[in-house]
């Protein structure tokens, strides 16, 4: 006899170290500290101390200014910084433009 146990779905939550918003883990990008540097971990499976950031430039920029190094308890080398900055360059500026609605010009 097999009884089906229905477990409540647990969604892992993580904090973006850029803006401190807590979100579902899969909406964030993991950055991991490895013995040879700090790397982006798109699979979320690498071993090492990890930190999470939103896929938006402002959060990465804030992270690079200190939050990331703090969270990973390390210092970013020039190489780490270059690697993260090249990733950052491909990210959107903001996920939601603030003036999307006010962009409509009303003429009298």
Residue closer to Zn ion (CB basis): 6 or 60? 60
Residue closer to Zn ion (CB basis): 5 or 25? 25
String marking each residue 12-51 x if it binds Zn ion according to CB under 5 A: ----x-xx--------------------------------
DSSP label at residue 90: T
Residue closer to Zn ion (CB basis): 16 or 68? 16
Footprint on residues 42-101 left by Zn ion (CB under 5 A): 54, 59
Instruction: Give the contacts of 86 (CB within 8 A, at least 6 positions apart).
Output: none
DSSP label at residue 16: B
The residue ranges that bind Zn ion (CB under 5 A) are 16, 18-19, 54, 59
């Amino acid at each position: 006899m097999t009884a089906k146990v229905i477990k409540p779905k647990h969604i892992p939550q993580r904090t973006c170290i850029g803006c401190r918003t807590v979100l579902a883990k899969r909406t964030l990008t993991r950055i991991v500290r490895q013995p040879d540097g700090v790397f982006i971990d798109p699979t979320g499976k690498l071993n090492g101390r990890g930190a999470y950031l939103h896929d938006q430039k402002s959060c990465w920029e804030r992270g690079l200014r200190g939050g990331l190094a703090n969270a990973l308890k390390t210092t970013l080398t020039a190489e780490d910084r270059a690697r993260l900055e090249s990733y950052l360059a491909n990210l959107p500026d903001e996920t939601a433009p603030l003036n999307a609605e006010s962009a409509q010009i009303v003429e009298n």
